[in-house]
């Protein structure tokens, strides 16, 4: 595997490769470590951490759908105390870049989480999950309004350790995701994660009731990928200098390449891990092979390539050398190369009028 070809950047953060885990899909990391070494990841993104421990919603809180998965977990977790005491130190021992996802029900809670993380080593970046209900606004999601999303990002930036990138994770079920992205970047976000799940539901025709205890849940998996690609493409077009982590239905190396071409500098794998815990090493290998087949020298050279006009070839994409035209076979002149080569051939003059 070509490590030089796969290295990428999220602003000031350098990553060994562009394949990450999606928040909430890798557990504490211990679950995935049974299948592969976590240092093979570009980065491990934690489950969203809140100030207090949460048991989450009662079951059933997951339901399969065609080409997707509905989840209504309720953000279960140990709270910031348990996370700092048990989970983050263990991740630091794995020699993996750790991006800590934070969630809250108020701007103050987000700020408090960033403050608690400020002096803690081993944090590569903070991902702000703005798809959380704002208790101060009738439970409306922060991600639904540019001002609310920006206020959360601003609070995290104010308390986070300088030099630690802050990434805003946005929801797709909004009128204009570009407007939300612009607001978050103006508030100080150095990067964006696109996208969170899309709200949906399923009904159990056996019980004749909703399949999830919470009625609705977040849709993820391959069914979400076309929507996620559209969001990445649109936001990159508006903010080409802002790094993006593409999330939504990544299950192969070619899926990852699609996101990169749309404008993502990295991708996060989520739902696929539930049925293929070895998905990350496989996707990374497939992505490397896809780049090699296309003569792509560095993945950074094709970030957003789908926005370029037809025929555009980045410097590191090496075109096939032209095949030289072959001359038709002809009988060689036996006198070529001799001292007589410049002399006219002798012989009778051709017949013509008067001869």
pTM metric for this prediction? 0.87
Q: What was the pLDDT predicted at 137?
A: 73
Query: pLDDT tens, 206-262?
Result: 999 999 999 999 999 999 999 999 999 999 999 999 999 999 999 999 999 999 999
Query: pLDDT tens, 56-87?
Result: 999 999 999 999 999 999 999 999 999 999 99
Q: DSSP strand E in 92-215: where?
A: 98-102, 125-129, 133-134, 140-141, 166-170, 191-194, 198-201, 203-204, 209-210
Would you say how long the chain is, in residues?
A: 355
- CA distances, 165 to each of 12, 41, 171, 213, 341 (Å): 7, 18, 20, 36, 76
Residue of 25, 132, 184, 231 with catalytic role: 132
**Do 279 and 258 form a contact (C-beta atoms < 8 A)?**
no
**Do 172 and 228 form a contact (C-beta atoms < 8 A)?**
yes
Q: Residue 132 catalytic?
A: yes
Q: What was the pLDDT predicted at 336?
A: 44
Q: Which residue has the higher pLDDT, 346 or 24?
A: 24
Rounded mean pLDDT, 258-272: 98
Query: pLDDT tens, 288-318?
Result: 999 999 999 999 999 999 999 987 877 655 5
**Do 72 and 57 form a contact (C-beta atoms < 8 A)?**
yes
Q: What was the pLDDT predicted at 317?
A: 58
The yes-or-no verdict on residue 168 having pLDDT over 90 is yes
The yes-or-no verdict on residue 340 having pLDDT over 80 is no
Query: Who's near 323: CB < 8 A, 6+ residues apart?
Result: none
Q: What does the alpha-carbon distance between residue 295 and residue 256 come to, in Å, rounded to a whole number?
A: 17
Burial status of residue 123 (CB atoms within 10 A of its CB: 0-12, 13-18, 19 or more) = buried
Rounded mean pLDDT, 153-165: 97
**Do 201 and 215 form a contact (C-beta atoms < 8 A)?**
yes
Cis? peptide before 60, omega within 30° of 0: yes
Tell me the pLDDT band of 346, cut-offs 50, 70 and 90: very low
**Do 260 and 273 form a contact (C-beta atoms < 8 A)?**
no
Range scoring the smallest mean pLDDT among 15-19, 188-192, 312-316, 338-342: 338-342
Q: What does the alpha-carbon distance between residue 104 and residue 108 come to, in Å, rounded to a whole number?
A: 8
Q: What was the pLDDT predicted at 347?
A: 44
């Amino acid at each position: 595997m070509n490590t030089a070809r796969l290295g990428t950047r999220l602003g000031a953060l350098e990553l060994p490769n562009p394949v990450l885990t999606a928040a909430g899909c890798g557990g504490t990391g211990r679950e995935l470590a049974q299948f592969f070494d976590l240092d093979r990841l570009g980065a491990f993104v934690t489950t969203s951490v809140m100030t207090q421990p949460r048991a989450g919603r009662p079951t059933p809180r997951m339901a399969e759908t065609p080409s997707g998965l509905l989840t209504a977990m309720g953000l279960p977790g140990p709270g910031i105390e348990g996370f700092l005491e048990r989970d983050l130190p263990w991740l630091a021992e794995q020699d993996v870049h750790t991006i800590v996802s934070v969630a809250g029900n108020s701007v103050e809670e987000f700020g408090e989480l960033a403050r608690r993380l400020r002096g803690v080593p081993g944090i590569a970046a903070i991902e702000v999950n703005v798809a959380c209900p704002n208790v101060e606004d009738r439970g409306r999601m922060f991600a639904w309004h540019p001002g609310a999303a920006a206020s959360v990002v601003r609070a995290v930036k104010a308390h986070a350790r300088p030099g630690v990138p802050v990434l805003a994770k946005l929801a797709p079920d909004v009128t204009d995701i570009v407007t939300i992205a612009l607001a978050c970047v103006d508030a100080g976000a150095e990067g964006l994660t696109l996208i969170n799940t899309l709200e949906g539901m399923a009904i159990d025709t056996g019980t004749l009731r909703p399949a999830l205890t919470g009625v609705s849940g977040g849709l993820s998996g391959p069914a979400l990928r076309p929507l996620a690609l559209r969001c990445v493409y649109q936001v990159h077009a508006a903010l080409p200098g802002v790094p993006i982590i593409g999330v939504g239905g990544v299950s192969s190396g070619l899926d990852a390449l699609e996101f990169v071409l749309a404008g993502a500098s990295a991708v996060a794998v989520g739902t696929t891990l539930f049925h293929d815990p070895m998905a990350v090493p496989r996707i990374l290998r497939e992505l490397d092979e896809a780049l090699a087949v296309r003569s792509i020298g560095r993945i950074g050279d094709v970030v957003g390539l789908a926005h370029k006009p037809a025929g555009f070839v980045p410097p590191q994409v090496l075109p096939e050398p032209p095949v030289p035209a072959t001359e038709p076979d002809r009988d060689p002149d036996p006198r070529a190369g001799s001292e007589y080569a410049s002399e006219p051939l002798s012989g009778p003059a051709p017949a013509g009028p008067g001869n």
